Amino acid sequence: MKTSIQQIGLFQVLLAFVLRGNSYPTGPPVTADACVSMQPTGHGVDGFTGLSPYSVVPSVDEYTPGENITVRIEGRYLGFLIQARKEGTTEAVGSFSNHPSGTKRLGCPNGDSASHSDRTTKNNIELTWTPPSEKGEGPVRFV
């Protein structure tokens, strides 16, 4: 069973960890607060709250449970944290893989995430996201 991405608004960008000058040199801390709120902690700055100049672009318009899709984060940035969440919850679903240089898997308490792993500038990175293999997960949103 395929789930439409456009019909459910799957990919809405909320890259709260995108910072203009500060990022943890090895990625954000794995804390329940940071993973759930998606806000930077310990940076001495607030998360970016303006109109995002970045976008998340899926390789397809719908996903099939268990079948990989490519997720591209377009733009120029230093730090980020991204999760695929069940619509209307803070539960992260699926898993990220194929982490390019400067990124890593982040094992958040609320589910699998991906983040930066160094302070180098990132440009248009691509990650592989695998939706859960169980049917019935329904709409998800990248946060």
Please tell me the predicted confidence (pLDDT) of residue 52: 75
Domain count for the chain, please give it: 1
* Structure tokens given for 26: 């090895």
Say how far apart CA 127 and CA 97 lie, in whole Å: 6
User: 20: pLDDT confidence band, cut at 50, 70 and 90?
Assistant: very low
- How many Cα atoms sit within 13 Å of 46 on the Cβ side? 3
CATH code of residue 25? 2.60.40.4060
Tokens 């099939």 sit on residue = 64
Instruction: Please tell me the pTM assigned to this model.
Output: 0.77
Please tell me the predicted confidence (pLDDT) of residue 136: 64
Domain span holding position 84: 3-142
- Residue 70 to residues 44, 92, 111, 119: CA-CA distances in angstroms? 33, 17, 19, 23
